[in-house]
A and B are shown apart, each in its own frame.
Chain A
Amino acid sequence: MSAADKKNVPPTDTERRRVLRLLGKGSVVAAFAAQIGAAARAFFPNVLYEPPTKFKLKRPEEYPPGFTFDAAHRLFVVREEDAFHVISAVCTHLGCTVQWRENEFDCPCHGSRFRPNGSVISGPAPRPLSWFDTRLSPDGFLEVDSAVDVAPGFRFVPPKGQA
C-alpha cells in the first residue's frame, strides 16, 4: 500500500486504535520510569560494611577512675568508684570529636563546650552529649549499645568482684 492509498483509507475503529496507541506509548514510558527508579534505588545500599552499634569495651577493672577516651569508638568511659557510665564524644552540633579538658568537654570545630555530664555550657551545639546504654557482657567486658541512649544520670554498677 502506498502512502497515498493509506491516506484515503477511512479511519475505522478509531477509539480502539487510540486506546492501543496510548497503551503502547504508556508502556514505553512506564518501562523507562521503572528503569530510572531501579537505577536510583541501587544507590541506597542494602548492606553496610560498618561496625555494629553494639560492641565490647575493656573489662571494668581495667579503667582508672575518671574520664577515659576510647578513640576507636569515639566515646568516654567514666568511672566513679564502682559506678560506670559512657558518654559519646561526638559533638551534637555537626559531629566533630570533643576533647576532655580538666573539667569540661570542648569541641574544636565551632567551639561548643559541655559540662562533665554532657550538658551544653556554651556554643552552637543544640543538644547535650549522648549517654549510651552500658552493661556487662557474659564474659565480663563492659558492653555498650551506641544506638540506645539513656538519660543522663544513668549508672551501671557491675556485680561485686567485677570491678
Chain B
Amino acid sequence: MGEQLAKLWRKISWSWSPGSERESSEAIVRNLWLHWFPAKITRAAMSWNYSLWLGTAAASLFFILTVTGVMLMFFYVPSTERAYGSIKDLQYAVSFGRVLRNQHRWAAEGMVAVVFLHMARVFFTGAYRGTRAANWLVGVGLLLATLLLSFTGYLLPWDQLAFWAVTVGTNIAREAPVVGGTMRFLLLGGTQIDQQTLLRFYVLHVFFLPAVLWVMFAYHMWRVRKDGGLGAVEAIKADRRMAPKPMPATKSYSLFGLTPGTSVQVMSSTELEAEDQVVSSPNLTRRIVLVFLIVFNATLLASIFFNAPLEEAANPAVTPNPAKAPWYFVWLQELVASTTVHIGPLTISGGFLGGILLPGVLLVLLAVWPWLDRSPLSAEGRWFPSSRKTQNRVFVVAMIAIVLLIVVGVFLRGPNWRIYWPGMPRPQAPTVL
C-alpha cells in the first residue's frame, strides 16, 4: 500500500534536487507540468538582467487572477439588483472577502502594468525580429486580451465608477465608422447599459476572455521554444561565432570540434557550448517558483494594506464629477477629451479621433513593427544596442507621451475635467442635484 502510494507520488512529482543530468531531464520529459520546458536552458536566458522575468511575472499574475477570480464567482451575483450588494458583502460580511477582492483587483492592475513592461523589455532587447516576429504578434493579442479583461471586469461591481467608465467606453465603440452602432448594440445586448450588458460582460470576463488568454499564452510559450529560446541565446551564439574556439578539453568537446554543422543536439544549441547551459530541473523550475512567490506576496501585501475602490451604487442620473477611467485607460480619456476638431461646418468627435483612430493606428503600428524594423539582426537579444538607437527613441517617446497623459489624467484633472495644479483648491463638485 505504502509502496503503491510512493509510486503514484513519483509519477506526479519530481525531484527538486536531481542526482544526475539524466534524472533531471527525465523529470522534464515525464512530468505533465514540466514537459513544455526544454531539458536544458541557456544561462543567458536565466539571467535576471536580460528578461527581468517580466513574462513569468505576468503569467504568475494571470494564475493568481484565475484562482481568486473563481473564488469570487462563489460570492458574486451578476444581476443589476444584487451585484453591488454582493461586492459589499465581500467587503464587510465574508471572512477575508475583502482581501480576496483586493487581491483580484491589485493583481489585475499589476498585470496590465507588468504586461506593458514585458513588452517594453522585448522591444528594448530587439527580441522580436526574424523568427520571433510571430511571437510578438501573439504578444499584441495577449496585451489586447489583458486590456479587455480589465475593461469587462470593471463593470461587474456595478458602482458609479463601473457604470460611467463603461458608458464612456461603449460610446467610444459607437464612434467606429459603419459598424460602430451595431458593435455597441451587440456589446450591450440592447441600447442601454442594463441587465443584459452586465450578463454579457460577466460571461466574457469569467469565461471567454480568460480561455482565449490561456490558449494564447500556451501558444506564446510554445513559440518561445520553437524560436530557439529567448533572444539572449542569439546574442550568445553571435559572440561564440566571433570568438576563436578554445582547445577541446573533453571527449565530447572534441566530437563537437570535429563535426561542424548539425549535431545530435537540438538544432538551436549547435553553436552553444556545454558551459552556456544549465539543466532546467531544478534551475528553471526553482526560479519560476521564486518569481511566483515574489509576485504572490507582493499582491497579498498590497491587498492587506490597500482596499480596492468601490463607489456608490450605479446611478444613471448622476455622473460623478470628475468621472475618471481606470489609470491604464485614462490616457485614452485624455485623448477623447481633447481631440474634437472643427473644420468649417464639419465637426469630428474626439470619440472617433482619440478613441478609435489614434489608438487604432497605434495598435496597427505595434502589430506590424517587426516588419517595419530594419535594424541588423545582430542587435537581437541585447539591451539598448547602438544600432537600434532610432527604434528605441521612437518607442521611448511614445511611452513617455502615454505616461504623461496618464499623469495628467490621474493627478491634475479635477471637477469638470479642468486642470488643477498641486496646491490649487478644488471646488467641491456636488454629486447629487
Contacts and interface: CB of A to CB of B under 8 A. Distances in A.
Contacts of A108: 319-323, 415-417, 429
A50 B192 contact: yes
Contacts of B322: 108-109
B168 interface: yes
Contacts of A71: 317-318, 433
Interface string A124-145: 1111000000000000000000
Nearest to A92: B349
B340 A109 contact: no
A110 interface: yes
Contacts of B349: 93, 124, 126
A93 B338 CA distance: 11
Interface string B171-186: 1100000000000011
Nearest to B170: A95
Interface in B149-204: 164, 167-168, 171-172, 185-186, 189-192, 194-196
Contact of A95 (B168, B189, B340, B348): B168
Interface residues of B, number: 41
Which 4 A-B pairs give the minimum distances between C-beta atoms?
Answer: A111-B417, A108-B321, A71-B317, A110-B337
A110 B350 contact: yes
Nearest to B321: A108
Contact of A50 (B172, B191, B430): B191
B337 A124 contact: yes
Contact of B189 (A45, A93, A106, A127): A45
A96 B319 contact: yes
Contacts of A107: 319, 416-417
A119 interface: no
Contacts of A111: 337, 416-418
B336 A110 contact: yes
Interface string B292-320: 00000000000000000000000011111
Contacts of B196: 45, 49
Contacts of B333: 110
Nearest to B185: A44
Contacts of A48: 190-191
Contacts of A125: 340
Contact of B168 (A69, A109, A126): A109
A117 interface: no
Interface in A21-70: 43-45, 48-50, 69
Contact of A45 (B190, B319, B338): B190
A74 B333 CA distance: 23
12 contacts: A44-B186, A48-B190, A72-B317, A93-B340, A95-B167, A99-B321, A108-B323, A111-B337, A123-B340, A124-B338, A126-B340, A126-B349
B229 interface: no
A124 B433 contact: no
A123 B145 CA distance: 32
B317 A74 contact: yes
Contacts of A106: 416
B87 to A, nearest CB: 23
B351 interface: yes
B338 A109 contact: no
Nearest to B195: A49
Contacts of B417: 107-111, 123
Given A45-B190, A109-B417, A94 B172 contact: yes
A94 B430 CA distance: 21
A107 B171 CA distance: 15
A158 B193 CA distance: 34
Contacts of A44: 185-186
A23 B185 CA distance: 37
Contacts of A109: 164, 168, 319, 322-323, 337, 417
Given A48-B191, A109-B322, A124 B350 contact: yes
A120 to B, nearest CB: 9
B338 to A, nearest CB: 7
A69 B336 contact: no
Most buried by B among A50, A94, A97, A125: A94
Contacts of B265: none
A62 B318 CA distance: 23
Contacts of B323: 96, 108-109
Given A45-B189, A110-B337, A97 B317 contact: yes
Contacts of B319: 96-97, 99, 107-109
A100 B333 CA distance: 23
Given A107-B416, A108-B322, 11 more contacts: A48-B190, A71-B317, A74-B316, A97-B316, A97-B317, A107-B319, A108-B429, A109-B323, A124-B350, A126-B340, A126-B348
